[in-house]
Structure 1
């Protein structure tokens, strides 16, 4: 596949001499970030291994660690070339409209393969090219016994855990706190083929190796002075290629979507919601009235999802699906279609996805993919490509392959359930789960968490009638904090219309985002996130764990002038365990020099909408 590039490449001549030691000829090269604050040093040792160390802000964070691929041949370090890139990536959609793409790079030519190393201002990455080797020698030998958190499937994250206490294989994203102002994240980018990244700890030490086989990918170490800087980074995406030359993704429309799965069984004003046409029409009407982008139809619309006889083109409620797609087009609302892996593999996938595109569907939610991690990655790539060819956005659920920056190459890959989704699988989603996963899972890319429930008790719901473990204000706040190209909200129109200020906050989330910034936060404690909508308005949201807290939020993200602020916070008697819906709304005028003070209940949150006031014309 050929890729177009907008990179402006400046090749800088750098003197890279071989360093001669008293005992033997030894090669050593150092590459720094453009701002000179990060440094990677690579050398060939007297033991004929390639090793590196990583330094940030004058502190060694990863000490001598092996690089390279397993080979029976002797390593010969032939030459080193260097270059620098300074450019700007303008994504179709993402956390911001302009992304600096600046790095220094070296390529070390060895006898059988190359080691390519890039150092950005927010991290470093390396990959091996030119040799097919089943085993890599990569190590991450951390300089001290730091605390770490890890992805843990559709459950609460592992951590905080001391590095030397890790006993079993850990899955990325791995986030490390080295000091109060020093954080790292270990992940991968652009996994072309092979096994997705795993991290094997050497128990009792701070050393982790990579047991993944045949992987063609970037190994990435991100760096930030706060956990929010990791969350805000684009490093993972930037290590992926841009779309194919001539590819058109202008049809990708990120934004808020309504959903039929959690509404099943809800009752309001004498109407009982089901996953069928009349209920779908009500959801389309809600989306249309609030300028939301789409309706997501979940499982069983074409028959029982795990039944091999369920035909994803002819079965079940297919005629109703045709009707709701047409109804959605009248209302300027797209419709997503669910496809289970059983239907995806027992019927011709190319035909199915082409037909969904021809029907006029907006996207595909793909569920319960089976296979080894390597097989799932290959199938995920195929589905994403086929969806792009048919102008379909795609969302992968149920233990998907972790994100590794695909949204740059394939902007239709708008989200995936790389997290424990809200109220999912009848497991308790604790407040601390949210404020951990946004600093761990979300570092990898967009995630689908299904926040935004306004019926806090969920009585009568078919799938999961459990109370929601947060406050209603936190539910609205989480929809903004979670980065996703499809912010899928799970409740019925009557419940949203019951709380007009909170609904206003959700409908104001107009993507693509122009800017995003994590204002403050601590892993597992709380987060404050700001995003600027495409219409120029700013939204700020805060969420906390099981502890209530007061926060002072600076408004330095704002531009010049005066803004009208709508501030929604938990009521004085609010608590996620006992009084979930108590909240209050305040309006005031603010500027970028101001602060907003909010009080968050246990399990609570706050929502702030900032609209620029227009200057009145004096006569």
Structure 2
């Protein structure tokens, strides 16, 4: 696997913008007389934004698409805990407009180059003297395939710090339609099964929340650049009127910020098709460019791990006769990794602190002291001789106060031992994060609990990413705050969990359901990479519990659920038992030059075509729901004049996730070129994977 090394440090520091059309500076000027409304359009004119003041002197916004109302007039503003709200008494002082069209390069990702083409309007508002005379700006960016807007609070007299109880940001969705969503604010964070309901049956949802309107328009509501602020939940107020509601904090205010500051962007992806939602870089474009400089030390990686055995209950994280993380077992896994081209081996439970009741408090975790049967120095030296790196693990039990006290020395220790990626964990129920506590030294000390997606935890995750960057380490966060595109600004934030992952399949028959992964593609995956941990080729959890998957689907997951770090999650004995499937896993890349959804519908199925960034090879495949279906794949994405030898792994005749026929798999080899077609049958709970190697 090649390191990135695509750009010089100086170029990376400036995000390597490659203009395709010269970016325009400010082209509008503040109006001399207060305006009653402001309008703006997307570059192709299909989206029309209107910002106005309603009859109650409240700022409102609305959006039309192709001449049809999409978002009816919706309110904007803040509720404060310590003063008059920023809701009424506003006038529009003026507005400023700008446009940009540039292309920038990702150091890793679903595609190498990203185009940022938008029109922008900054609307400047002020409250009446009776309401305090306070200033509030709102910046809107309109793309052809979506919109983002944020509040920008300028420095001003009489308002030094804002104590925000909540936002009054609204989204009044005009047309009817269907929504795919998970509940927001529940005990199990984002690890829920997605529901499919009418839009007006949604209660409170996490974002991204995806909708398909009755006219076929696709929407996805989310946010971008979540920094030093609470994540928001998408809460239905009435009918199809939704409001942001900020994740709570331990104090009265959900967010506390000194002025000046900008909020995260509130975003809507908009497309005519499911593919238009997926092939959309809205949130990435609304994040700041890379702040880390040269990130050639970040490596896309395939890995295996001492993990599935603990998840199933065969081994333990705690010390004892069934302890998973031993020196001998780690060396065994490193041998397998070296033989099959894996760069990393994840080891969980190597450190002290697992023996007690760690769930939800984690007071006793050490991040530098190993258990007696694990020799950190020995295993990392052993792996180094084979080109295999330990993937580190920091479980906190939700005790970020304890973790932060030891964060710097823990990252320094890992750097000393050649660790390139750290998986962090925050296992705790709901709002169970211990944020500030002296309990590690004083059991009677103060204890402060925070939500997983509240402002304090958002700050914590970024502090971990920045500390890791100082030691040239990448972060894969589990039980995280949702992804909002910050991988652009901090390219060492390579992946997250943030959804119901593979581990649930170890705990019950068909625990995730056959339509879970085809739904993730169009919901959770719109936010960014997910460490889903595919590759359970045995198709068995604990006590032989069956997965809602065929063998071919386990391979298709490597193309459907994107991450620059990809695991083969099964026991190495089970991986060895499937040499033909391992032939695919060994070669599938984790870094792409191009990615296209060539067939799929929300919640039903998803077939991708992805081009390797480091070769001329293409890979095609994906996943299906519970309904068998016949597809005809068209290979229009291939370059003209080239032929490819295509190796195919697909569902065998009669395969279904419901019986032992889930193990049936078929193989094919054909020659394919641009414009050719290939018939593909997908089994219930099935999938497919294809490798295309140029032959001329």
**Normalised by the size of structure 1, how large is the TM-score?**
0.90
Measured after TM superposition, the shift of residue 169 of structure 1 is 2.0
1:509 positional shift: 2.0
Compare 573-582 and 283-292 and name the one that shifted more.
283-292
Give 3-state SS (helix, strand or coil) of 2:608's partner: strand
1:392 to 473, 478, 482: 473
Q: Distance in 2 between matches of 1:98 and 1:123?
A: 19
Does the 8 Å CA contact 1:296/1:335 hold for their aligned counterparts? yes
1:192 and 1:504 mapped to 2: Cα distance?
Answer: 41
Residues 1:544 and 2:554 are matched in the alignment? no
User: In structure 1, the residue corresponding to 2:233 is in which secondary structure?
Assistant: coil
Displacement of 1:91 in angstroms is: 0.9
Shift of the 154–171 alpha-carbon distance from structure 1 to 2, 3 Å rule, reads: closer
Give the Cα–Cα distance (whole angstroms) in 1 for the partners of residues 301 and 274 of structure 2: 25
In 1: Cα distance, 2:195 partner to 2:139 partner? 32
Instruction: Work out whether residues 26 and 45 of structure 1, in 8 Å CA contact, stay in contact via their aligned partners in 2.
Output: no
Cα distance per residue 1:491-516 (max 9 Å; x no partner):
23343333333222222222321111
CA distance change for structure 1 residues 511 and 451 in 2, over 3 Å: closer, same or farther?
A: closer
2: CA distance, partners of 1:279 / 1:138: 53
Q: Report the CA distance between 1:300 and its aligned residue.
A: 4.8
Deviation, 1:98, is 0.5
Deviates more, 1:334-343 or 1:192-201: 334-343
Bigger shift: 449-458 or 583-592?
449-458
Which residue in 2 is equivalent to 1:107?
122
The one of 633, 651, 666 aligned to 1:570: 651
- Residues 37-93 of structure 1 show CA distances to partners (whole Å, capped at 9, x for unaligned) of 222222223432221112223322111111233427732322211111111120111
Decide whether the 8 Å contact of 2:71 with 2:171 is kept in 1.
Answer: yes
Match of 1:10 among 9, 12, 24: 24
CA distance in 2, matches of 1:329, 1:537: 29
CA distance in 2, matches of 1:302, 1:489: 26
- Secondary structure class of the residue paired with 2:522: coil
Which residue of the partner structure matches residue 281 of structure 1? Answer: 331
The aligned counterpart of 2:76 is 67
Residue number in structure 2 paired with 1:326: 381
Q: How many residues align?
A: 596
2:423 to 365, 370, 378: 365
Shift of the 263–558 alpha-carbon distance from structure 1 to 2, 3 Å rule, reads farther
- Pick the aligned partner of 1:449 from 532, 535, 548: 532
Q: Give CA deviations for 1:289-337 in whole Å, capped at 9, x if unaligned.
A: 3322311112354341726334221231585222222222222222111
TM-score for the superposition, normalised by structure 2: 0.81
Q: Distance in 1 between matches of 2:676 and 2:32?
A: 55
1:72 and 1:541, CA in 2 relative to 1: closer, same or farther beyond 3 A? closer
Q: In the TM superposition, what are the counterparts of 1:146-185 in structure 2 within 5 Å?
A: 146-152=177-183, 153-166=189-202, 168-179=203-214, 181-185=216-220
Cα distance in 2, alignment partners of residues 493 and 502 from structure 1 = 13
The answer on whether the counterparts of 1:266 and 1:273 sit within 8 Å (CA) in structure 2 is no
1:293–1:230 Cα change, 3 Å: farther
1:243-297 per-position Cα deviation (integer Å, ceiling 9, x unaligned): 22x6221111113211211145879xxxx99432232223223322332231111
2:690 corresponds to which of 592, 608, 615? 608
Question: CA RMSD of the aligned region, Å?
Answer: 2.5
Determine which of 423, 428, 433 is the counterpart of 2:516. Answer: 433
How much has 1:17 moved relative to structure 2?
A: 6.7
- Any stretches of 5+ residues in structure 1 without a counterpart? 20-24, 615-619
SS in 1 for 2:681: strand
Q: Please name the residue that 2:149 is paired with.
A: 126
| Distance in 2 (alpha carbons) for counterparts of 1:576 and 1:170 | 30
Residue range with higher mean Cα deviation, 276-285 or 593-602? 276-285
**Mapping for residues 139-218 of structure 1, pairs under 5 Å:** 139-152=170-183, 153-166=189-202, 168-179=203-214, 181-203=216-238, 205-212=239-246, 213-214=254-255, 216-218=263-265
